[in-house]
Structure 1
Amino acid sequence: MANSKHAHLRYNILDYCFRNKSYGFEELLRILNEGITELYPGEEISERTLREDIKVFRDKKEGFGAPLKEGMRTYKYSDTNFSIAQRPLQKYEQYLIEAAQQLLSRFENHPKYNKLAEALIKFQDEEEQENDASRILFYDHNEEYKGIKFLKPLYLAIKKQQVLQINYQGFKDESSSMFEFHPHILKQYNRRWFVFGLNKTREIKEWSIPLDERLIGFETLEDVNYLDSNKDWETFFRTMVGVVRPKEAQIEKVVLRFHNGRENYFKTKPFQPDYEEFFEKEKQDQVWFETIINKELVQQLLSYGQDLEVLEPELLKKQMREHSNTMQQFYKD
């Protein structure tokens, strides 16, 4: 096995290079050392370490079995669909996962432990099970979601306070457009990630970009000053459902009445965390909360079908009535 220090970082960089372009040995070494220096200042690897890493990639028994042809002056996968991320864990990698679980067990009483443990269990379950019949965990995820590849680069761009040039094309746009973007936070909603920040080109704060096929790509703009945000994002999101905040949106008091006992379901999984219950006995099937009115709120309300009734405000009642009338037209005999 090659030099184990920052091996995973090197493997990920090499995997990206081999999938996307043909690189010469010296160029690969330069790119690797640039990536290592960024996270490990002052550290580099030698030509010997890179040669050992390439052997690991080619090794079908102890390595990744990557489709890298021998005797070539440049390095690129002959099968561009190949990625080491699709390969089973190596023995030492499985050991690291188990060691991480043991380390985390020291913090079982800490509130952050549950989310970390869940992530590790999901990851290990997928690696250990060879077929769906033997799976233990079946969890909700978006199999068609390709935008996850942007998550880490955008996270690092925010950490490093980098300004980006975004290439974006909406579903209804005839062509793509470019704009200067200062990323501030990442938000997940409905199994999809969004990045929020300043659209400097249009001078719009709190601009959101979905991490999906509409985001074609982005690159870092050098020598452009990063503009930070003083927005209280916690409050920003707690006063809305979802990620879309219409211009001039006002916070409204929403009162809901549930039927057929569905208030119990809502209370176990509220789409608005700051909801309140009524003290009156005759209103135990009702809840209220303060939020803006947007499409995502309406979608959540519609998901309850005939088991939910909007009592306030009148604007929201009108929208629900319009949806109900439209759907009624769909099912006319």
Structure 2
Amino acid sequence: MAKNKNALIRYRVINRCLIDYKICTKEQLIDACEDALDIRPLGERTIDKDIYDMRNDNGLAYYAPIKYDRNQGGYYYDDPDYSIDNLPLKADEIEALTFASTLLNQFRNTGIFSQFSGAVQKIVDAVNIQKANIQLPQYDFIDFERVPFVKGSEFLQPIIETIKNKQVVLIHYQSFDRDSPVEHTIHPYLLKEYRNRWYVIGLHEKYREIRTFGLDRMVSVEPARVPFIDKQFNARDYFKNTIGVISPQGPPPEIRFAVRKRQAQYLITQPLHESQEIINEEDDEVIFKLVVHPTYELITLLMGYREELRILEPENVKKDFIVALQNTLKRYQ
């Protein structure tokens, strides 16, 4: 049976009272629940039903050993070690938590998540204990992708705080193509992760346009004494027609490309973008269409298919792709 939020809170309050005070009158349980919920008055029949449900409700599955002592006029746990928090999980629940804890454990020492490493470890330990109790097999046959340490993750927390509090920031930014850092004042709107790197997207104070900055290139971040400009930034709309973290202005072109049939299966089962469509299937290749900006990230992804892929149109994207391939060949000559 589904329970509302207040009922679930009352169960935990009753549980805590019976653990802390060993024996409690109905009046004490009512007072504790009223204080926890800030609801008054709470009827005796409500507590009576809560106790009944904690004892008997198959949906809750607490089966709490609550007894009543007529001499002391109070309720108590017949098993002094009992708590609704100690309920064992089912095998399928442990299996699901194993997946979740394994993924969570990968991020334990990464940037902002490092401050929660203790809590993550507790979750991992608890799941491992439960697994041992029901003798579930280890997932040695599943190998999750490792998340490497990324420079700049120490700026995650301050950037998050500035976005939440709508504060302008001054960034000392060391681009990969510069010898020294440059100052940028930005109104931050979004923190975005792409291929294990973090980026902040915001309005540039000087140029009055949306710019993207990689946290791995930041030298320092500090508050700026400038009024915040709220542009009502919509991340979904901004990145709708692009792959990666840069979104050029204007409508995107329609890009068509052919991929040999065997390699095409990778794109069919995992599309590059939501706009991807199959235009035609021939004997030896599949023709795809994308409606996106031809950003560096897109070209890099397409070049990863090497001789298995060829650009069909538009002509300017095709020429840029050919030039990139020719420049690659020159490095081997």
TM-score range, shorter chain: 0.5 to 0.7
**1:239/1:291 contact within 8 Å kept:** yes
Amino acid at match of 1:142: P
Partner of 1:204: 208
Amino acid at match of 1:330: R
Q: 2:167 aligns with which of 146, 153, 162?
A: 162
Q: 2:198 aligns with which of 190, 193, 199?
A: 193
SS in 2 for 1:139: coil
Report 1:56-205 matches (<5 A): 119-120=103-104, 122=106, 123=108, 137-143=143-149, 145-200=150-205, 202-205=206-209
Separation in 2, partners of 1:162, 1:115: 37
SS in 1 for 2:326: helix
Aligned residues: 218
**1:258/1:307 contact within 8 Å kept:** yes
User: Deviation string for 1:280-327 (max 9, x for gaps)?
Assistant: 666971211101112111101101111111111111110111122222
Equivalent pairs: percent with the same residue? 25
Separation in 2, partners of 1:187, 1:295: 17
2:288 paired with 1:287: yes
Q: 1:281 to 1:136 in 2, by over 3 A?
A: closer
Separation in 1, partners of 2:269, 2:99: 18
2:333 paired with 1:329: no
Separation in 1, partners of 2:235, 2:284: 33
TM-score by length of 2: 0.57
Gaps of 5+ in 2: 1-85, 109-119, 129-139
Shift of residue 215, structure 1, vs aligned partner: 0.5
Amino acid at match of 2:233: K
Gaps of 5+ in 1: 1-97
Partner of 1:271: 272
SS in 2 for 1:157: helix
Partner of 1:14: none
Shift of residue 250, structure 1, vs aligned partner: 4.3
SS in 2 for 1:331: coil
2:244 paired with 1:242: yes
**1:238/1:272 contact within 8 Å kept:** no
SS in 2 for 1:325: helix
Partner of 1:299: 300
2:198 paired with 1:217: no
Shift of residue 218, structure 1, vs aligned partner: 1.1
SS in 1 for 2:212: strand
**1:183/1:196 contact within 8 Å kept:** yes
Q: 1:221 to 1:325 in 2, by over 3 A?
A: closer
SS in 2 for 1:324: helix
Shift of residue 191, structure 1, vs aligned partner: 1.2
TM-score by length of 1: 0.57
User: Deviation string for 1:213-234 (max 9, x for gaps)?
Assistant: x201111235x32111233321
Cα RMSD of the aligned pairs, angstroms, is 3.5
Amino acid at match of 1:238: K
Separation in 1, partners of 2:224, 2:162: 11
Partner of 2:83: none
Separation in 2, partners of 1:328, 1:308: 17
Q: Which one has a bigger Cα radius of gyration?
A: 2
SS in 1 for 2:183: strand
Amino acid at match of 2:174: Q
Q: 1:305 to 1:249 in 2, by over 3 A?
A: farther
